[in-house]
Each structure stands twice: as structure tokens, then as C-alpha cells.
Structure 1
Amino acid sequence: MPGSMSKLGGLAVGLLAPARSGALSNQIRGVVHRSVLRLPSDHPEPWDYKHKGFNYIDGLKDDTQKHLHQNSKLIVIEGNIGSGKTTLAKQLADQLGFVHLPEFRMDDILIDRYGNDLRNYYSKFPARYRLPDISMFYKNPSGELSAAMQDRIFNCRFDQYLNALAHILNTGQGVVLERTPHSDFVFANAMRDKNYIGHEYFKHYYFVRKNALPQLHFWPHLVVYLNTPTSKCLENIKRRGNTDEIATVDERYLKTIEESYKDSLREYRNHSKILAYDWTKPGDTDAVVEVN
């Protein structure tokens, strides 16, 4: 990983939520609207980790804990496909003064920083070496590359989660993140239920998950779950107008995700505060802010 990850090994015990089995199991509440956040005059400037990295000498000069304050939190927005996560995540980040990290999409790795799209060169190498995007999955969900896509998505969610933690530890600024590697299995379950992925890969997925998640160490401070009926999710998906998505993401697929989220929330509950909202009709972001 790049230098932005290096501060994860430092003293990060202030406001992030460690596992319950650790010595520090009590989380601290008190997230406030950005307009009322008051920091001391000697509060350090955010460490420019993206350009400077963070090594042993830097650690002597810059104390991680001094950057942390009551809004140094990781908030995760969870919900089914088409539930309205992105809209709430953007609004919540804006009101709290947090960074918003959208849900990982394959375009994030298929298009490089110069704008080159890897898919434009797919004709030059065999299909099994291609990285499918979600559009390719919707066109051929039972194809042999569906497992490769799900595997890559899990790995990239893992990296994105580390980036969220690194941002908080280096700058003190909170992060609103859409979905995490902890909840990624809800999609693996749905894909297996529809036979889009095979049993052997399904077993492999859970083996990798079991070994990977303990390496994250920190859980979200808060998980906001949008409980949106599958009928409403289908309505929102149809409104997007992608015929391939509509054909693949049917009610059965969404129901499996919905049922799997019950297991995900039980797992989260051991480590994080959970707020669940009936999102049949999108609610008021202000209400979510006030509860925190």
C-alpha cells in the first residue's frame, strides 16, 4: 500500500472503534454539525500523507492523537441496491464536514489517472485476463468472470476502508463511507443464490473474508442502515433505465441481499453503533445528524 496507509500502525486509540475483545472497547459519541465544531487554537494542521507518506522520523514530529477530535469518526451507510445511500452519504458528509467516499466501482481501477480506459484494450488479450465491470456483469451474470469481479471488488473495498482509516488518523477529519468489506458478503450470497458464482468460489470467498477482516482492527463508529423495501429498490432501479441491470437485479436477488443484511447488522452490532431507518420514503438528513 502507498504511504497513506502507514499511519495505521501508530497510536490510533482515540475515537475509532476497536474490536470488543481489545482493551479499548468503549466508543465515544458526540458527532456535531461542522458549524458548531470548536477546535483549540493549537490544533495541528492535517498531515499531508498523500504527498509526504509517514515514516519513523515523521512520527517523532507529528502525533496522531493530537489530530483527533469529536468528529474524527468513521460513519458507514449501508443498504440494498437502489436504496438511496449515495444521496444520504453526500448530505451527511456535507453537514458534518466529513469526507465522502462513494461506494467502490470497477471504473475506479479500470480508468487510470490519465483517463485511459483499460476496457478499450480488451480486444488485445484473452477474455480470462479481463477485469469485468458491473455493466459486463449485468449483460452476462452467469459468465466465468463474475467470480473474478466479485473477488476484485472485495479486495478494493478492503483497500478503500484502509484509505478511510488513514485519512482520519492523518488529518482528524471524519469519513462517510458507503459500504465496507464487512458487508460485502451480502452480494456474494445473492450471486450464489442465483448461481452466478459457483460453490467452490463461494467457499473461497468466505475463506478469504475470514482471514482478511481481522487485519482491519478498527470497526466503524456508526453504521446507518437504510431499510428500503425491495419493491421500492426495484422502482428506483427501473428509473435508472439500465435494461441489463433490471434483468439481473430482480426481486429474488434483492431479497437475498436484504436477508443477508440481517446477518451483517448482527456482526456490526458487536462493534459499532447502529441506526436503522425506514427509507421507504427518504428521510431528513438533519434527523440523522441530531441522533449522533
Structure 2
Amino acid sequence: MALHCISTVSRCCRVQPLPLSAARAGLPAVQAALITGRTMRGGPKSWPRPPWPYKEKPYRGLKSFFDTTRSRWDENTRLIVVDGPIASGKEEVARALADEFEMQYMPPASADLMYINDYGYDLRQLNERLPHKVQLMQVDDFLKNPYDIRMASFQITWFEFKLSQYIDALAHLLNTGQGVVMNKCVLSDFVYMEAMCRAGFVSRGARSVYREIAQNTLVFMLRPHLVIYLDIPVEEVKKRVKARARPLEVGSPALTDGFLNAVEDTYKNSWLKTISEHSELLTYDVSKELIVEHMVDDIEKLDFTQYGYNTNKMEDWGRKSDDDWDSWRTQYTNYKSHLMMNMMVPRFDVPELLGEQEDMKIADELINEEAPGQKYRYGFNPDMGDSVLFKLGEGGKYRDTTRY
């Protein structure tokens, strides 16, 4: 059985501001062209409408007639991604921009998103009892031994984490009107798969499976309004890694010159060129100095509404009716598991992505039968204190990845 298919199944189965009079009348908001920060406004922003409580209530049916998606939009309803190589200062920049523009900050995807279940049990505690090839992996394992046979399934699993978080970012933006600043995202994840393949950590066959999964899933994702790329040469990356002295990074066999050069090359010669066709792109050399105030000034000058129908830029955000936006909002809010199931690619020609039947049986019994809270959906596990008598509904619990 394909390891990436099994892991996916197990998890999935379980802008001119609107005039005040128009906002009160419930008319669709018209976004201003320019993002405005707290400093330019001279104080905190006001919201057109309170956010829809999408973490507690679904959005479907008649609700769309009385709660249109664009009624909450203003000039700062934007999706911004801060990206760049290791140790380039992404967290500092993303947090500062989110604070200045009063947007939601989303940290990098974490293994905790998937490995800690809704009852707080960490499935990684089972690793010692799991066969090597089906153990639950994290970045530490990559840094220790990038040549491990599990590296291909690790990178595909990490794509899954990032995809889950990206869907949540879109759901948050469409349900609240609040912009989101992400520290990296799933759209640039292929940079690392490509670098791992070039460095010899994974096979070309595994890369082909990854590409097929990406093609199946990313077609349903709206691309960001703005990408900020923090440029830093490989030699400076190595200096910063050494300076911050994280035990697993220093001397790691994964962070070789070949791998780091492949990351830089793929970013600059592939991803940035592609994403700039659809999103605004700002690039900064941060090898010597990082001044967020300059970035804020540059962002506030960007006109996101200047592009017409003869260009691909901003096409994801500018060519939809109210009904279209309500449909996209419904999809990201209510049908995340359906979107995630597009990762199911039945490929059985890549040995490193295949598990032995006996190993898969052991993993299934441990993870889905013995682990606390894993046998049934959240809210339907009597052994965890859940009352199931006369309980109706689908169950489930919203995993708040926007604040992880």
C-alpha cells in the first residue's frame, strides 16, 4: 500500500473602503487598491462587520443570502506570504507585517498539526513500537539523516501539513475579512522536494509522485496577493545557521552546499518566476540589513486593482461574483477534507513510498485502535469520556492552525 495514501486517508476520514452608508445597507464591499498600516491610519482599524464564527458554525445554504463574503472586505483583506531560504528572518518580518497591518499571522506548518490529535495525545509516542518505515517523521529526522528511506514520504507528509494550513488561511480570510500573513506556504514547498532530489536524498520517481499530488491539489487554491522573498546567499545562510547554534542544524548532513544551492536556484529560477505571473512580488536582500519599515512603505504603494482581464496577475481575486465568492468560502470552510483527499494518488511504482503489508497492519492497529481518541471521530469516543447517546451530527473538531 502506498504510504502517502494511507496517511492521507487516516487523517482525512477522521480596495477604496466601503462608504459607511453602503456597509450598513449590507451592500458588497469594494476593496481599495492600497493596503494601509496602523501608522498611516494613525490608529487601529475598524471592521465593516464582525467576523463569521467559522470555527464553531458551518457556512452553507441560506446563510449566504444574508452573509455575503465580500461584505467584510476592506483594503487589508489580502493574503501575504513571506518566503525565503533557511535563517533569512522570515518569522521576524511576517510577525512585524501582521502587527502593522492588523492581519492574522500564521507560523510555519508544524508536525503538531497532525500528530497531536483532538484529545491532546501525541501519536509520535508510538514511534518506538512502529516499524521503521511507517514511523511518524518530523524535521529533526531529516536533519539527522536525509538519506533515510522515509525521506520521500516525509516530504509528501509535510506538503499535507502545509496544504491543511493554507486552506485554513483562506477560510480565515474569507470568513472574517481579516488579511493573513503566512510564514512560508504550500505553494513553494516543491522547492524543497526539488532540492532533496538534486541532492540525492529522494528519487526521481518520488519527485514525480509529489508533482502529481501538487497538480491535483493546488489547482483548488487561491494564490496570494503578495509574496515577499527574503534573499540571502548560501554562504550567509551557513553563517547564520552556525551562529544560532541549533544542535541538529550545526553539522547536519542535510544542510550541504549542494542542497542549499539547489534551494536558492529553485526559488529564483522557478518558483519566483511562476508566482510573479499571478501575484505581486517584492524581493529584498536581507544579508546585511533587514528594515521592516521600508517593506511597509513598499507594500502600501502597491495597487492591487490595476490589472485587467488581459493579464493573469490577480486573476484569482478579481474575476468572481458574490455567488462565486460564497461558493469558494463554503468549500474552504466546510469541505476541507474533500480538498485534502485530492492527495490520493494511487502510484505503486516507487518502492520508497510503499510499505509492507505487515508493517501497515501494525501501524493501523497501534494508531487507530490503541491510541487514545483515535478509534472514532472526535466527540464519539466513550473511552475518552464522550457521551454518544442520542448524539446527532458529524462530530469533528476545528483544528485552529491559524494560531499554532
TM-score by length of 2: 0.63
Matching of residue 228 in structure 1 with residue 232 in structure 2? yes
CA contact (8 A) 2:113 2:161 kept: no
Distance in 2, Cα, partners of 1:281 & 1:214: 37
Q: 2:282 aligns with which of 275, 278, 282?
A: 275
Q: 1:205 aligns with which of 199, 206, 210?
A: 210
**Alignment correspondent of 1:72:** 77
**Alignment correspondent of 1:169:** 174
Task: Give 1:92 deviation, angstroms.
Answer: 0.8
Which segments of 5 or more consecutive residues in structure 1 lack a partner in the other structure? 3-11, 16-27
Distance in 1, Cα, partners of 2:283 & 2:115: 34
Distance in 2, Cα, partners of 1:239 & 1:108: 29
**1:91-141: CA deviations, max 9, x gaps?**
110111011101112233223355432222212222222220111111121
CA contact (8 A) 2:140 2:248 kept: yes
Matching of residue 135 in structure 1 with residue 135 in structure 2? no
Q: 2:52 aligns with which of 27, 47, 57?
A: 47
Task: Give 1:170 deviation, angstroms.
Answer: 0.4
Task: Give 1:158 deviation, angstroms.
Answer: 1.5
Give the direction of change, closer, same or farther, for the CA distance of 1:282–1:117 in structure 2 (3 Å limit).
farther
User: Quick one: which amino acid aligns to residue 279 of structure 2?
Assistant: S
Q: What SS is found at the alignment partner of 1:100?
A: strand
Task: Give 1:179 deviation, angstroms.
Answer: 1.7
Distance in 1, Cα, partners of 2:113 & 2:161: 9
Matching of residue 153 in structure 1 with residue 187 in structure 2? no
Task: Give 1:259 deviation, angstroms.
Answer: 0.4
How many residues were matched structurally?
A: 268
Q: What SS is found at the alignment partner of 1:46?
A: coil
**Alignment correspondent of 1:288:** 295
**Alignment correspondent of 2:351:** none
Q: Kindly, what percent of the aligned residue pairs are identical?
A: 31
**Alignment correspondent of 2:112:** 107
Task: Give 1:195 deviation, angstroms.
Answer: 1.1
Task: Give 1:39 deviation, angstroms.
Answer: 4.4
Bigger radius of gyration among the two: 2
CA contact (8 A) 1:107 1:133 kept: no
TM-score by length of 1: 0.85
Q: CA RMSD in A?
A: 2.1
Task: Give 1:211 deviation, angstroms.
Answer: 2.5
CA contact (8 A) 2:74 2:177 kept: yes
User: Quick one: which amino acid aligns to residue 281 of structure 1?
Assistant: K
Q: 2:200 aligns with which of 171, 195, 202?
A: 195
Distance in 2, Cα, partners of 1:282 & 1:71: 27
